[in-house]
Copies of this chain bind each other. A is one copy, B any other.
Amino acid sequence: MTAGLHFVRRIRRTPYTSRAEATGLTGYSVYNHMLLPKSFGISVEDAYRHLREHVQIWDVSVQRQVEITGPDAAMLVQWMTPRDLSKAVVGRCYYVPIVDRTGGMLNDPVLIKLAEDRYWLSIADSDLMLYVKGLVIGRGLDVDVFEPDVSPLAVQGPKAEALMADLFGEDIRSLKFYHFTHVAFSGRRLVVTRSGFSTMDGFEIYLDDSSLGEALWDAVWEAGQTYSIAPGGPNLPDRIEGGLLGYGNEMTVENNPLEMGFGKFCKLDGSIDCIGLEALQRINDAGLQRMIRGVVFDGDACPPCSIPWPVMAQDKMVGQITSAAWSPGLDTNVGLSLIDRDFWEPGQPVTVLSADGLQRSGRVSVLPIR
């Protein structure tokens, strides 16, 4: 399970890759055809503890941007998601499930409203730009769709605010969650959001000039010396505990947003026109048959979950674990699974059949797991 990754241009390096390598990168993932630094020579458990106490710098350039600009941009963006964007304002970020005509998830990006006619979709792991291009060509819309030269760098952890204030000024402290502002860096004006794929406080800096990647990394790194900064990446037990779902892990086109717990982002009363509305209404009317849940299960630290593991209630398979890890905070294993409706109540006893052949006793939990 430790076979090496072959390096080719097709798996794109980022403006920060050289710096990540210089700070001891030991493990990658590949995400949106790009390198995602994941580990830096310390255990996932130690990285988890560090993230929750200090501050980390993450190269999340893999959150590639799809820019949509033009007269039809607002209409297109609303058409693409069941989330009601009629009151969306410039300066805010919106988590927007994207579904096809069957209600199946295609991506779950963060929408950044830059102007009334200009948006970025900060994407999860599928080529959402191709879908947008298809919609635009198919319907003959008047917008430009392209990937701008934008590479998000995340600063995550309880000391992120102090670091960012030192680097960009005290005003950044008042930035609210899922809002954005602009900061000055090296002659540019960069979008900074208060967001990130961790359970901790954090910011994401949307660098719009690749040639400044190393300079930005160095500036954050230097400002972080006071705060015990370390390099890092999305931390598996942290995200599982927090109920942060991963496209391709917890959900694929086989899943609808309602069962993923995104019902609050689905306006199904017919007041908006969006792709998949009828399918989602039908699914909602029929009643959900399963729902995403946490699962807490015992035994030693579980192996990585690369093929879903059955979740059993006595002899019946009632779900499948799609991500799993040992949680240092909860001192037990944690996982994420869709669970059938008759078994989805928190506390439901289950058995997890992990890839190492063990049968592990567990229970269903709400999300975030507790």
Q: Measuring CB to CB, which residues of chain A are less than 8 angstroms from any residue of chain B?
A: 1-13, 25-31, 33, 38-39, 100-101, 106, 125-128, 130-141, 147, 246-249, 253, 275, 304-308, 322-323
Contact = CB atoms under 8 A, between A and B. Distances in A.
Given A132-B134, A133-B106, A5 B29 contact: yes
Contacts of A307: 9, 13
B306 A7 contact: yes
A6 B38 contact: yes
Given A130-B127, A138-B136, A139-B138, A6 B33 contact: no
Q: Considering residues A6, A106, A128, A322, which has the most beta carbons from chain B within 10 angstroms of its beta carbon? A: A6
The oligomer's copy count stands at 2
Q: Considering residues A9, A31, A127, A139, which has the most beta carbons from chain B within 10 angstroms of its beta carbon? A: A9
Q: Is the interface of A mostly helix, strand, loop or mixed?
A: loop
26 contacts: A3-B26, A3-B27, A3-B28, A4-B4, A5-B30, A6-B28, A8-B29, A8-B304, A8-B306, A8-B323, A9-B249, A9-B305, A9-B308, A9-B322, A9-B323, A10-B31, A10-B248, A12-B248, A30-B30, A100-B137, A101-B137, A106-B133, A127-B130, A134-B135, A134-B138, A137-B275
